[in-house]
């Protein structure tokens, strides 16, 4: 199963109030394993950066001055995310800005049925605990020492590890089949099924005879007079 874990950085808290997305970081997972494929972009917000927001992510007006507008990278972004589920932390916030930007440039919005919110998952799994990304990294022993400020791709990479833990850890399905194989086309991934032959456990005749003899010594066995046990 292909999923996209993503995070955004913005000029504030509300697209409806005039805030804009300035960064998005996405990474691809197949069967809860990172494939190494990512999409990362900065955007010119067409407005000034509030000081409070800059303190969070470190993105200044000077840094963003030569960055493309969202509309100039929208096709690349949509090609990358495809129709996969989108995983985000406090996902309604990120979806609000993603869909706001899409709507602003005349593109179809992303359906909320594709939204996977790790905050909601954390609240279900750890009621009463702290559910910030930092808190969850601490809980699961995920190294975030290199995170000095918020960054969309870095936070998506941390979130992908948290998401794996929230969905059961590295042995989620206890499956013995899926291997991810990259095709020659960089946008194509094939999940190849490797079927392992069954192992045969044969019982030696001597062991079978000893077992039969032992059963005959049991008084009032639970299996009664089952001829198969005679």
Residue 17 in marked binding region? no
Partner residues linked to 8 by β-bridges: 24
**Torsion angle of the four alpha carbons 210, 216, 220, 222, in this order, in degrees rounded to the nearest 10:** 50
Residue 52 in marked binding region? yes
Q: 178 is written with which tokens?
A: 């899926």
Helix axis angle for 118-125 and 91-104, nearest 10°, is 170
**Which residue in 60, 83, 73 sits closest to 25, CA to CA?**
73
CB 51 within 8 A of CB 92: no
Residue 57 in marked binding region? yes
Task: Report the distance separating Cα 112 and Cα 148, nearest Å.
Answer: 31
Whether 131 is catalytic:
no
Q: Is 178 exposed, middle or buried (0-12, 13-18, 19+ CB in 10 A)?
A: middle
Q: Is 7 helix (H, G, I), strand (E, B) or coil?
A: strand
User: Residue 174: CA atoms inside 13 Å, Cβ hemisphere, count?
Assistant: 0
Collect all residues with Cβ–Cβ distance below 8 Å to 164 and sequence separation of at least 6: 32, 170, 172
Select which of 40, 44, 89, 150 is catalytic. 150
Residue 34 in marked binding region? no
Residue 146 in marked binding region? no
Q: Which residues are annotated as a binding site for a divalent metal cation?
A: 7, 9, 155
Instruction: Tell me which residues are annotated as active site.
Output: 150
Q: Which residues are annotated as a binding site?
A: 7, 9, 52, 57, 155
Q: Which residues are annotated as a binding site for substrate?
A: 7, 9, 52, 57, 155
């Amino acid at each position: 199963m292909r999923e996209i874990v993503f995070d955004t950085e913005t000029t504030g808290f509300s697209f409806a109030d005039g805030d804009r997305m300035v960064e998005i970081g996405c990474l691809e997972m197949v069967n809860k394993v990172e494939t190494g494929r990512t999409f990362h972009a900065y955007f010119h917000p067409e407005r000034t950066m509030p000081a409070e927001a800059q303190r969070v992510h470190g993105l200044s007006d000077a840094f963003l001055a030569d960055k493309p507008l969202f509309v100039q990278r929208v096709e690349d972004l949509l090609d990358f995310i495809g129709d996969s589920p989108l995983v985000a932390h406090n996902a309604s916030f990120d979806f609000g800005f993603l869909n706001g930007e899409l709507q602003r440039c005349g593109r179809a919005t992303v359906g909320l049925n594709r939204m996977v919110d790790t905050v909601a998952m954390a609240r279900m799994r750890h009621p009463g605990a702290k559910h910030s990304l930092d808190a969850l990294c601490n809980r699961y022993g995920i190294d975030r020492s290199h995170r000095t400020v918020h960054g969309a791709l870095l936070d998506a990479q941390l979130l992908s590890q948290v998401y794996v833990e929230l969905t059961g850890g590295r042995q989620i399905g206890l499956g013995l089949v899926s291997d991810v194989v990259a095709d020659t086309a960089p946008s194509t991934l094939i999940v190849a099924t490797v079927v392992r032959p069954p192992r045969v456990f044969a019982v030696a005749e001597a062991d079978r005879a000893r077992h039969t003899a032992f059963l005959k010594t049991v008084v009032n066995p639970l299996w009664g007079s089952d001829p198969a046990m005679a």
